[in-house]
Amino acid sequence: MSFPKKLITSHPIPIRRSLTSLYKTQIQNLSILPIHHSNQTNPINSFKDLEGLRPSSINSRPFDQCGSINIVLESNKMITNYVRAGDLDAARQVFDEMLLRTTVTWNSMLAGYSKKSGNSEAARELFYQIPEPDVVSFNTMLACYFRNSDIETARGFFDGMPVKDIASWNTMLSGLSQCGKMSEASQVFLVMPQKNSVSWSAMISGHVEVGDLESAERLFRLAPVKSVVAWTAMITGYMRFKKIELAEMLFEQMPVRNLITWNSMIAGYVENCRAVDGLKFFKRMINDGIRPNPSSYSSVLLGCSNLSALQLGKQVHQFVYKTPLFLNTTVGTALLSMYCKCGELQDARKLFDVMHWKDAATWNAMISGYAQHGSGKKAILLFDEMRMEEAKPDWITFVAVLTACNHAGLVESGIRHFDSMRRDYQIEPMPDHYTCMVDLLGRAGLLEKAVELINNMPFKPHSAIFGTLLGACRMHKNLELAEFAAQNLLHLDPNSAAGYVQLANIYAAMNKWDHVANVRRLMKANKVVKTPGYSWIEVKNVINEFRSGDRVHPELSLIHKKLGELEKQMKLAGYSPDLDYALHDVGEEQKEQILLRHSEKLAVAYGLICTPAGTTIRVFKNLRVCGDCHTAIKYISLIEEREIILRDTTRFHHFRNGSCSCGDYW
């Protein structure tokens, strides 16, 4: 894969517009949701409207009328374009230097302050300086209050507005809906003097966002005119509630679709573990002539990551490379994340290095990539580089850093970074950070310290905390703490299959088969089903899936033959099966055969059969790798002189020449 040496960013090119179209643009950019307005009379829609306007500075000199108009128009365009480009300081400089301002000028500057949260005070100050505010001014200020989550002020402001048009009502409706205040939004909706498609869309979208699919469906049926926003909101809702068939049916019935509709379908498939369908839908979108945006690529690349479909991800990369979106930070971050999750850490780093603009998500993705691959020291060095570049770490950054320390056994470094969160960055540790720390201490055998940390947490421990502690107890065979962790885990999450399985595995490793039987009976009584373990490997763009003791793969006889040969060679090299991982009360010979048929070994053997000698094998598993498989694959990498990359639920293992990148610390 080749990358450009340097990426560049571009700014929007100013576009010449008439005063009327510029004014309409101001209206369209006001509300929280896209708003379609009635044909109201514009306060300024001709040159004549400018005749009575007064200069905003007492020191202004007389202007020729046409010259004044041209200067105002050009200045308004500059302000609008600077605002669109996100350069508020430049927009304000143009504004301050203007000797004559129209209401459109004030509204343009106000829209700039209102565009992002955090500028409400500056927007308020500017609003009350407008000589003749119009309904657009009021609507812009109302939207600003909602964008800053100042709902109480927005309510009072709306009630005091001297005039309200349909855009005012829709802005109020959209603001309440996006803040989750659907009861209040419904009251506003009922008393609106006039409703349009935007009004109905705001209500439908709001109900979907708060999870009230039933109300959304009812309103969708009642809506006299259904906009593409309403259709798309319903598709999003159906996907969110795993009603995929209904989403598909609605999509096919839509009279008009936009890019957001396609993105909702693709993202919905990926989120519902149907990444293959999402990728097919992406291809259909391209064939229909729809141009993807960063959101499209983020979803499709996440689908490639979930499938570990590296070749397909590379094809998407080549497609992106031919478009201007290759320069987009969001797309670049999605690409490097895909490479990390598919085991290509070097390609991910190459892409990271050539990205001209990196946001916090970009740094987080690369640090997390190093963490998942067990390169803890590289992750910490990159975090230090991030700080030197004055990129601001967030809570996700510290999850990645603590994970890196965890996977590399950097206990002191992990504790130091955890303590620095609140002290140096004013970031309050969240449950995810505590889970990382419990895992870090537990893996290192500091189980008592892990329990002490849990007891001192500022909030009630969640189930993942005790699940992590239980895993550490299994690693160190601490039955007493394991039972404590399992009891708390199952109290918080009675349907946790992982809790039962982990406890049963600890009992099995200690030959307490009667306890294993009790746990299994309890699982059956509570109707808890264990997630079946499986592994998969991509060969020639085809995903081959294996389960332990697989009996359905068409090449099974060849795979078993290869494993038989490998078993003999491994034992000659010093391999001894770890029977603690054969979790059945059977004889040793049967246990060895069970271990030999684990899904990881089946996938590796198939890779050895079907790929050229010397090439890297990439295997993926939906659960943690078995301890015996981990040992066996080290021997296989030595015997076959192959690099074998195995990704499980927690990390990557790179096997080379009889050793693993994790240093057996996993």
Which tokens in the block code for residue 479? 């039955």
Show the tokens assigned to 104: 């459109």
Residue 583's pLDDT is: 67
Q: Are the beta carbons of 462 and 491 closer than 8 angstroms?
A: no
Give the DSSP H/E element, type plus range, for residue 73: helix 65-84
CA dihedral sign, ordered 448, 453, 455, 460:
negative
The torsion defined by the Cα of 141, 145, 148 and 151, in degrees rounded to 10, comes to: -170
Rounded distance, CA 437 to CA 3, Å? Answer: 37
User: What would the 3-class secondary structure string for 5-53 be?
Assistant: CCCCCCCCCCCCCCHHHHHHHHHHCCCCCCCCCCCCCCCCCCHHHHCCC
**Cα three-residue angle 19-22-23, rounded to 5 degrees:** 85
For every residue of 120-162, DSSP letters joined together read: HHHHHHHHTT-SS--HHHHHHHHHHHHHTT-HHHHHHHHHH-S
pLDDT average per 10 residues of sequence, the chain (666 residues): 36 33 36 36 34 36 55 84 87 88 91 87 92 94 92 94 94 94 95 94 96 96 94 97 96 95 97 92 94 95 89 91 90 96 93 93 96 93 94 96 93 96 95 96 94 94 92 88 90 85 82 86 85 88 89 93 96 91 77 92 96 93 91 96 92 94 80
Token pair 């055969």 in the structure block, residue: 593
637: which 2 tokens? 């990498």
Q: In one letter, which amino acid is 637?
A: S
**Alpha helices, H only, 456-598:** 463-476, 479-492, 497-509, 513-525, 556-572, 588-596
CA torsion 385-386-390-392 (nearest 10°) is: -160
Q: At CA 126, angle to CA 93 and CA 130, rounded to 5? A: 105
| Whole-prediction pTM | 0.77
Cross-strand partners of 647: 620, 652
CA–CA gap between residue 382 and residue 503 (Å, rounded)? 38
- 416: buried, middle or exposed (CB in 10 Å: 19+, 13-18, 0-12)? exposed
β-strand partners of 235: none
Tokens representing 605? 């053997």
Written as one letter, the residue type at 59 is: N
Let me know if 21 is exposed, middle or buried by CB neighbors in 10 A (0-12, 13-18, 19+).
exposed
> Contact, 143 vs 30, CB < 8 A?
yes
